[in-house]
Amino acid sequence: MTHMDDRTLTSSGFYVSQEAPIHTDDPIPTPSAPAPDILRCAALDLVVTDLAASREFYVDVLGLHVTEEDDDAIYLRTTEEFIHHNLVLRRGPMAAVAAFSYRVRSPEDLDRAVAFYTELGCRVERRAEGFTKGLGDSVRVEDPLGFPYEFFFEAEHVERLSWRYDVHCPGELVRLDHFNQVTPDVPRAVRHYQDLGFRVTEDIQDEGGTVYAAWMRRKPTVHDTAATGGDGPRMHHVAFATHEKHNILAICDRLGALRRSDAIERGPGRHGVSNAFYLYLRDPDGHRVEIYTQDYYTGDPDNPVVTWDVHDNQRRDWWGNPVVPSWYTDASRVLDLDGEPQPLVARTEASEMAVTIGADGFSYTRPEEESMPAWKQGEYKLGNQL
Binding residues for a second copy restricted to 21-60, rule: CB under 8 A: 39-40
Nearer to a second copy, 232 or 272 (CB): 272
Minimum CB separation of residue 385 from a second copy in Å reads: 6
d(CA 381, CA 377): 7
The reply on whether position 354 binds a second copy by CB under 8 A is no
SS3 (DSSP) at 59? helix
The reply on whether position 311 binds a second copy by CB under 8 A is no
Among 72, 170, 340, 354, which residue interacts with a second copy (rule: CB under 8 A)?
170
Nearer to a second copy, 161 or 226 (CB): 161
Minimum CB separation of residue 49 from a second copy in Å reads: 16
Among 297, 343, 346, 370, which residue interacts with a second copy (rule: CB under 8 A)?
297
Minimum CB separation of residue 144 from a second copy in Å reads: 27
d(CA 214, CA 16): 14
Residues 6 or more apart whose Cβ sits within 8 Å of residue 32: 119
Minimum CB separation of residue 365 from a second copy in Å reads: 4
Which amino acid makes up residue 33?
A
Nearer to a second copy, 32 or 385 (CB): 385
The reply on whether position 107 binds a second copy by CB under 8 A is no
User: Are 158 and 67 in contact, with CB atoms under 8 Å apart?
Assistant: yes
The reply on whether position 11 binds a second copy by CB under 8 A is yes
Residues 6 or more apart whose Cβ sits within 8 Å of residue 12: none
- Which residues on neighbouring strands pair with residue 312, listed in sequence order? 364
DSSP secondary structure of 165-189: GGG--TT---EEEEEEEEES-HHHH
The reply on whether position 360 binds a second copy by CB under 8 A is no
Binding residues for a second copy restricted to 56-85, rule: CB under 8 A: 80, 82-83
Nearer to a second copy, 120 or 313 (CB): 313
Cα-based angle 59, 60, 64 (whole degrees, multiple of 5): 30
d(CA 180, CA 18): 23
Among 4, 53, 122, 324, which residue interacts with a second copy (rule: CB under 8 A)?
324
d(CA 123, CA 138): 14
The reply on whether position 163 binds a second copy by CB under 8 A is yes
Binding residues for a second copy restricted to 367-386, rule: CB under 8 A: 372-376, 378-379, 381-386
Minimum CB separation of residue 81 from a second copy in Å reads: 9
d(CA 119, CA 219): 26
SS3 (DSSP) at 42? strand
User: Are 81 and 132 in contact, with CB atoms under 8 Å apart?
Assistant: no
CA-nearest of 201, 187, 207 to 348 is 187
Say how many residues touch a second copy, by CB under 8 A. 92
Among 91, 127, 133, 243, which residue interacts with a second copy (rule: CB under 8 A)?
243
Among 71, 257, 338, 370, which residue interacts with a second copy (rule: CB under 8 A)?
257
The window from 85-93, 135-143, 154-162, 194-202 that contacts a second copy (CB under 8 A) reads 154-162
One character per residue 176-215, x = contact with a second copy (rule: CB under 8 A)? ----------------------------------------
Among 94, 129, 319, 354, which residue interacts with a second copy (rule: CB under 8 A)?
319
User: Are 192 and 293 in contact, with CB atoms under 8 Å apart?
Assistant: no
d(CA 384, CA 1): 39
Among 125, 246, 340, 354, which residue interacts with a second copy (rule: CB under 8 A)?
246
Which whole-number Å values give the CA distances from 129 to 48, 92, 210, 216, in the listed order?
24, 22, 43, 30
Among 24, 210, 321, 351, which residue interacts with a second copy (rule: CB under 8 A)?
321
Which amino acid makes up residue 219?
K
The reply on whether position 313 binds a second copy by CB under 8 A is yes
User: Are 136 and 69 in contact, with CB atoms under 8 Å apart?
Assistant: no
Among 52, 66, 70, 105, which residue interacts with a second copy (rule: CB under 8 A)?
105
